[in-house]
Amino acid sequence: MLLLHGTGGTERDLLPLGRDLAPGADLLAPRGTVLDPAMPRFFRRMRGGAFDEDDLIARAAELAAFVAAAAKEYGFEAGGLTAIGFSNGANVASALMLLHPEAISAAILVSAMPPFRRPPGVILTGHRLLISNGLRDPLAPPSLTQRLVENFTSRGARVDVLQHPGGHQLAAAHLPVMREFVNGSDPRVTP
């Protein structure tokens, strides 16, 4: 599993979640290399929270290269990874799948929004996503969740969505479905 923290986090933040979702699984958890202003992130943003898409493209390429190097070093199949990202980490996981679909085959995106105004026209048949967003998230409101879903389903990916009544956070109630997803089962998502 590839664990990608949110803004201000570290490579250790999602380790407990990774261990909970897939006990005994190998965990790869890099730290974002961009500082904003002193908080680690995976890519830059501009004023008003808008993404610096050029930087995001470059950082997604760096992350893909990191995954490929780690696969060689540790002897795993890069394309078989499931990414789990929170906020900034979820957004870079989305960009990674859209730009380098060979790097990951599945992703759990928590508090995610669309990474690109105009996403690339890649084919994502066989890729899976589980999106867990809050209905009161000021950064990733339901309208952006719907746009994110459309960005992936229109490219052939299978997407399941979980929504909780809260804001920009991980919902404990979603953990059982996340476990099913990580284990390769079709998650039991109810509308």
- Catalytic machinery residues: 87, 137, 168
For the chain, give the number of residues. Answer: 191
Distance set, CA 5 to CA 124, 143, 157 (Å): 24, 23, 23
Q: How far apart are CA 11 and CA 3, in angstroms?
A: 8
Question: At which residue do the structure tokens 């407990």 appear?
Answer: 16
Give me the half-sphere count of Cα atoms (radius 13 Å) on the Cβ side of residue 46: 7
Q: Which residues pair with 133 in a beta bridge?
A: 163
The amino acid sitting at 152 is F
- Beta bridge mates, 162: 132
Q: From CA 174, how far away is CA 43, in angstroms rounded?
A: 27
